[in-house]
Amino acid sequence: MSKTLVLRSREGSLVSKTTLDSEITQAVRKIVADAISFWKLETSDFIVIRDMYPVSVKLPISKEQYDLYSNYDMSRTTNGSVMFNVPVYVISFDNEWQEEDYVDKEVIVVAPAVDQKVEEIITELAIEATKPKEEEDAEEEPEEDL
């Protein structure tokens, strides 16, 4: 049986991380059904986005890693790494428009639990997805003054 990683992120912070003993398709359907209860329907859209997230791992890799990664359209790159695509589902239920930007305040990210490396990358993706825009703008401002 496969394992599925479920991350909940709110305003740039990881709120929860769990691993389910479930195939990803069944897990996503159940989580989407449960997430409807969190939906702020007066102010937000309810969106589920499926994306293929590219992951790169430096060679050499173990036989176990090869067996895991080859399930995800793995290929060798020219820079001594292997690249593979992990399906990632982002469930957004607390979001808003800020000027021309669509901002997710809180999301649930669901992906296959492949290994520790993939978990770290997907965790970073979940945190970045809900980072407030003001923080990003503040980080960029010093570069503009140069």
C-alpha to C-alpha distance for 85 and 19, rounded to whole angstroms: 20
Whether the Cβ atoms of residue 95 and residue 108 lie closer than 8 Å to each other? no
Predicted pLDDT at 121:
94
Name the amino acid, one letter, at 70: S
Predicted pLDDT at 135:
47
- Residue that is written with structure tokens 């800020």 in the block: 98
Q: Which residues, including other chains, have CB under 8 Å from residue 5's CB and lie 6 or more apart?
A: 17, 18, 19, 110, 111, 112, 113, 119, 122
Predicted pLDDT at 146:
53
Predicted pLDDT at 99:
84
C-alpha to C-alpha distance for 76 and 86, rounded to whole angstroms: 15
Predicted pLDDT at 134:
63
Cα distances from 25 to residues 3, 4, 5, 29, 102, in angstroms, run 11, 9, 12, 6, 27
CA neighbours within 13 Å on the CB side: how many for 43? 11
| Mean pLDDT in consecutive groups of 10 residues from the start of the chain, 146 residues | 93 97 96 95 94 94 94 94 97 91 94 94 96 60 50
Predicted pLDDT at 31:
97
Cα distances from 35 to residues 31, 107, 111, 129, 146, in angstroms, run 6, 9, 16, 17, 44
C-alpha to C-alpha distance for 10 and 131, rounded to whole angstroms: 8
Predicted pLDDT at 102:
84
C-alpha to C-alpha distance for 125 and 49, rounded to whole angstroms: 14
